[in-house]
């Protein structure tokens, strides 16, 4: 990023806030990974380690009334939308105080009141859903926007293409993104698609596309801001390809030996937290002491969250029978 662009287009406090959320995401997910290794978390455990800038960047660019349909490596977006570390750890532990009350696990959290559409494991399923939410906003003449994403693998699915097409035809206020972390579980890009950049897909649907450095939170934020402004102006969807690298396995159980070590080594130097600290130092917005303070604050919040989650009750077995049908619809 050009420093002049950053100082012109991003407020100092916003950038510092993004740094805080990067740190909070890292601390929270490191803690969750540790709990998984200790056998205290059952089920899947997918992290955004090394990719935190994507969710933190785009979620920071949205307004309160907007909606997100996050990818499963977007922990920072949940935090920014108001999910607390305590609620999130409770979700991982299957506690009743988690957003799904134990009905679903890990990042499968949603809440209409906080503008989050609950994640579905079938990648790209929420892309048409996001287009439909944007359709509702457009039909009602609201200036709200939906930000929805999937991974490089998810862009191979039909729902991705159907959503892109539908949204482009009706010029819906939605921003689609791809977290291109180069591997879909073990499948590398070369076996996923015959194009070099996922962004090429945008052209086929008649929408603008942009490649963005997914490890640069300022770049993600500014690209998201542009796409959001375009959608809000009624010009239709944009597709953003955030280039990054998955630094852990698909899930914490996966040692990911299929990823070349030198590839990981080269990306480790581009760690989004490291990059943000370098940027803040250059801008004189923060120094080493400040970074350590924020890191300590994030860790403390995560520990308090863990305390809350561990002391929360588990659901009772018969609660499984509750909630199959709605008694009344939410009013939005």
Partner 1 sequence: MATSTVATGEVTYLEAISQALDEEMSRDERVFLMGEDIGIYGGAFRITEGFLAKYGEWRVLDTPLSESGFVGAAIGAAMMGLRPVVEMQFADFISCAFDQITEVAAKNHYRWGAAVPLVIRAPFGGGIHGGPFHSECPEGWFFHSPGLKLVAPSNPYDAKGLLKAAIRDPNPVIYFEHKFLYRRIKATLPQDDFIVPIGKAEVKRPGAGLSIITYGAMVHLALEAAQLLEKDGLDLEVVDLRTLIPLDKETIYGSVRKTGKVIVLHEDNKTGGIGAEIAALLAEECFDCLDGPVVRIAAPDTPVPFSTPLEEFFLPKTGDIVEAARKLAAY
β-strands 174-180, 183-184: how paired? unpaired
Stretch (H or E) spanning 251: none
Binding to partner 1 by CB under 8 A, coded x per residue (else -) over 153-192, reads -----xx--xx-xx--xx----------------------
Dist CA 126 CA 77 (whole Å): 16
Cβ distance to partner 1 smaller for residue 114 or 297: 114
Length of the chain: 332
Q: Does 85 bind partner 1 (CB under 8 A)?
A: no
* 80 binds partner 1 per the rule CB under 8 A: no
Q: Shortest gap between Cβ of 184 and partner 1 (angstroms)?
A: 18
Binders of partner 1 among residues 221 to 260 (CB under 8 A) are none
Structure tokens at 193: 């698609």
**Nearest CB to partner 1, comparing residues 219 and 309:** 309
Quote the least distance from Cβ 183 to partner 1, whole Å.
Answer: 23
Cα distances (Å, whole numbers) of residue 38 to 41, 47, 53: 8, 16, 27
Does 315 help bind partner 1 (rule: CB under 8 A)? no
Under 8 Å between Cβ of 148 and 127? yes
Nearer to partner 1, 57 or 149 (CB): 149
Letters for 127-146 (x = contact with partner 1 by CB under 8 A, - = none) are xxxxxxxxxxxxx------x
Query: Does 283 participate in binding partner 1 (rule CB under 8 A)?
Result: no
Residues 6+ apart with CB under 8 A from 123: 150, 151, 153, 154, 157
Footprint of partner 1 (CB under 8 A): 67, 99-100, 103-104, 108-112, 117-118, 120, 122, 125-139, 146, 158-159, 162-163, 165-166, 169-170, 323-332
């Amino acid at each position: 990023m050009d420093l002049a662009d950053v100082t012109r287009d991003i407020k100092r406090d916003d950038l510092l806030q993004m740094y805080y959320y990067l740190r909070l995401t890292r601390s929270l997910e490191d803690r969750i990974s540790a709990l998984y290794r200790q056998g205290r978390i059952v089920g899947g455990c997918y992290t955004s380690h090394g990719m935190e800038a994507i969710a933190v960047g785009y979620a920071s660019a949205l307004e309160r009334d907007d909606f997100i349909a996050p990818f499963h490596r977007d922990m920072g977006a949940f935090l920014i939308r108001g999910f607390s570390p305590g609620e999130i750890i409770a979700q991982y532990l299957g506690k009743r105080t988690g957003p799904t009350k134990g009905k679903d696990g890990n990042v499968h959290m949603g809440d209409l009141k906080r503008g989050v559409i609950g994640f579905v494991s079938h990648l790209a399923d929420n892309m048409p859903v996001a287009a439909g939410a944007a359709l509702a906003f457009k039909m009602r003449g609201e200036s709200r926007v939906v930000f929805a994403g999937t991974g490089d693998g998810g862009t191979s699915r039909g729902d991705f293409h159907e959503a892109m097409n539908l949204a482009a035809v009706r010029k819906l206020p939605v921003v689609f993104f791809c977290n291109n972390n180069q591997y879909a579980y073990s499948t590398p890009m070369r076996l996923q698609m015959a194009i070099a950049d996922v962004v090429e897909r945008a052209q086929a649907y008649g929408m603008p596309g942009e490649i963005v450095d997914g490890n640069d939170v300022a770049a993600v934020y500014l690209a998201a801001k542009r796409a959001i402004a375009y959608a809000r102006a009624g010009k239709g969807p944009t597709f953003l390809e955030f280039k990054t690298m998955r630094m852990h396995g698909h899930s914490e159980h996966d040692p990911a030996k299929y990823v070349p070590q030198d590839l990981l080594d080269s990306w480790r130097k581009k760690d989004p937290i490291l990059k943000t600290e370098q940027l803040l130092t250059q801008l004189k917005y923060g120094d080493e002491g400040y970074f350590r303070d924020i890191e300590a604050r994030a860790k403390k919040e995560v520990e308090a969250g863990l305390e809350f989650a561990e002391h929360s009750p588990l659901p009772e077995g018969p609660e499984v029978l509750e909630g199959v049908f709605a008694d009344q619809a939410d009013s939005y």
